[in-house]
Amino acid sequence: MQSLFQTELQASVLTARGPGAVAVIRLQGHLPPATNPFQPFVRQDDLSPQNAPINRILYGRWHGEDLVIVRTGADCWEIQCHGGSLAVQRILQDLQAAGTRVTSAAGNLLSTSGRPDLSCEQRADQLVQHALQLCRTREAAERILQQADGRQVQLLQRLAAGDAQVAAQSRRWLPFTNSLLHGFRVLLTGEPNAGKSSLLNALCGRQRAIVSAVPGTTRDLLDAETVLDGWIIRFLDSAGVREEAASDVEAEGIRRSLTATCDVDLICCIAGLRPVPELLLQTLATANCPVLLVQNKADLLTTDGDFEALQPLVDPFSDRVLVSAKTLAGLTELQSRMLQLLIPSLPPADTALPLADSLGLDLNHATA
Ligand SMILES: Nc1nc2c(ncn2[C@@H]2O[C@H](COP(=O)(O)OP(=O)(O)OP(=O)(O)O)[C@@H](O)[C@H]2O)c(=O)[nH]1
Ligand SMILES: [Mg+2]
């Protein structure tokens, strides 16, 4: 018999908003006989969450993501998953598709795209709230908070009215908005031994990557994040590029290094004491982002003329800078050139940023 207290199935996120190590989603309420909200859960043992003993931890995967489910009461479960907002959204989406009512803030956001009944004010409010959750620096949060002064409402109203011009104006700032919320990706490439890993360590202020005098030390892509002037920057260190790889492993490293040039916001081509290899120059010539030539080991160059002779400034380089990862000379200059190339211009003060686009939400149903 159904208890008086049994309610419709509801899901809510118990953990704090924003990315974290772990997120906990609580699912509570009566499970109608034909309903299985745990359908995507691939469990490791024979117990299903619906009839598992109370407080038994069930290990398994949800669309490939490791997580655990604990039945904490007769009609109550906790799904403990990776704390990134994507994992949580994915699970909430599945629960919602299985008939669960999502009652948390994240649930409100999910429904933003599919509910014609929400006003532009409500939608704008949710967009700003969700964007704020993603901000990891005060500067980013300040810029997003400025969006709550009515400009997002106006943008949504004009989009709902089919104003194509305003849509295009706002979308112009999509890369900027993406970087504000998710950070920039900067690739460090160059020939073996040029000092890429040394520079990664210098830029991040810690010994993240192995440095050695043996060419070909770094084999895989290696990342490290830092904050520059309030901007999140994720640096990718990579295997040194040369025409003749000494092994299959090195060849694979070089392939990954070259492939990574397609998926970053800026490439820093680190040069050692030899000209940049032709193979790398050819790849960089087709890059769809700025390429900064970074002449490292400045401490070993005797005159400015050495630099000119080593690396004549030709395509594909947008700019160049002289540094030493050893003495740290030129590092501040390098950081400011990188920011200039990453953010060539800032949006005018009253710009309504394309938050919905950046968050991947379709607001076609918005009502003015
Ligand atoms: N004098 C001097 N030596 C440097 C500088 N930067 C790096 N080195 C040295 O150059 C060698 C190679 O440095 P790494 O940072 O490992 O070079 P890499 O480009 O990552 O090399 P691979 O991973 O092999 O491609 C090491 O012996 C470093 O100590 C620099 O600015 N000045
Ligand atoms: Mg290296």
Tokens 């490939």 — which residue?
64
Q: For residue 362, what pLDDT is reported?
A: 59
pLDDT band at 343 (very low <50, low <70, confident <90, very high): very high
The pLDDT of residue 206 is: 93
Q: Which carries the bigger pLDDT value, residue 236 or residue 319?
A: 236
- For residue 262, being part of any structural domain is answered with yes
Q: How confident is the model at residue 112 (pLDDT cuts 50, 70, 90)?
A: very low
Are 271 and 190 in contact, with CB atoms under 8 Å apart?
yes
Q: Is the pTM above the cut of 0.85?
A: no
Task: Indicate whether 2 belongs to any domain.
Answer: no
Kindly state if the Cβ of 268 falls inside 6 Å of ligand 1: no
98 and 170 belong to one structural domain: no
**98-109 tens-digit pLDDT:** 888 877 544 444
- Averaged confidence pLDDT in the chain: 86
Residue nearest to atom 12 of ligand 1 (CA): 193
140 and 268 within one domain: no
Which of 198, 214, 268 maximizes ligand 1 atoms within 8 Å of its Cβ, making it the mutation to test the pocket?
A: 198
What number does the ligand 1 atom closest to the CA of 198 have?
15
Residue 366 has pLDDT above 50, yes or no: no
Q: Is the pLDDT of residue 114 over 60?
A: no
Q: Tell me, what's the pLDDT at 315?
A: 62
Q: Which two tokens stand for residue 44?
A: 């490791």
Pocket probe mutation, ligand 1, options 200, 210, 211, max atoms within 8 Å of Cβ = 211
In which domain, by residue range, is 37 found?
10-103
**Residue 361 belongs to a domain:** no
pLDDT of residue 308: 61
The model's pLDDT over 75-97, given as tens digits with 9 standing for 90+, comes to: 889 999 988 777 888 898 899 88
Question: How many structural domains is the chain composed of?
Answer: 3
pLDDT band at 314 (very low <50, low <70, confident <90, very high): low
Confidence of residue 317 (pLDDT cuts 50, 70, 90): confident
Residue 81's domain is classified under what CATH number? 3.30.1360.120
30 found inside a domain: yes
CA distance 128 to 146: 9
258 and 122 together in one domain: no
Write the CA distances from 196 to 243, 247, 281, 300, integer angstroms.
Answer: 18, 20, 16, 16
Q: Is 78 part of any domain? A: yes
* pLDDT of 361 higher than 80: no
The helix, strand and coil proportions of the chain, stated in percent and rounded to the nearest 5, come to 35, 20, 45
Confidence label for 227 from pLDDT (cuts 50, 70 and 90): very high
The pLDDT of residue 205 is above 90: yes
